[in-house]
Amino acid sequence: QVQLVESGGGLVQAGGSLRLSCAASGRTSSTYGMGWFRQAPGKAREVVVGIRWSGGSTNYADSVKGRFTISRDNAKNTVYLQMNSLKPEDTAVYYCAADIGNYGSSYYYWGQGTQVTVSS
């Protein structure tokens, strides 16, 4: 089992920044990476970015490239999502998920989500 707890969401004006955190506990050694996802009201959940531990490769959604950055603190078992130049369309509940896929991403453990609201 892996437990994930997100934090750092809130209300920000367009053009502002937020940093989300995802603290992992439990059998974190069983994971191969982490991902951030988001779901806006009435829309399907979409991937924001994924990171694989081996090699540190990342894969960003086109909509956030150049604005969002994923990083990790191994000592704290925490992954961060730095979000800059936020837009109203970034408003969503953001979730982190643990990737347990060895040969391809497979997100199995999920956090409870944190709300991000960007006002225009």
Answer yes or no: are the C-beta atoms of 12 and 34 closer than 8 Å.
no
Dihedral, CA of residue 80, residue 84, residue 86 and residue 90, to nearest 10? -30
Per-residue pLDDT of 63-105, as tens digits, reads 999 999 999 998 999 999 999 999 999 999 999 999 999 888 8
Per-residue pLDDT of 28-56, as tens digits, reads 999 999 999 999 999 999 999 999 998 88
Q: Hey, what amino acid is at 96?
A: C
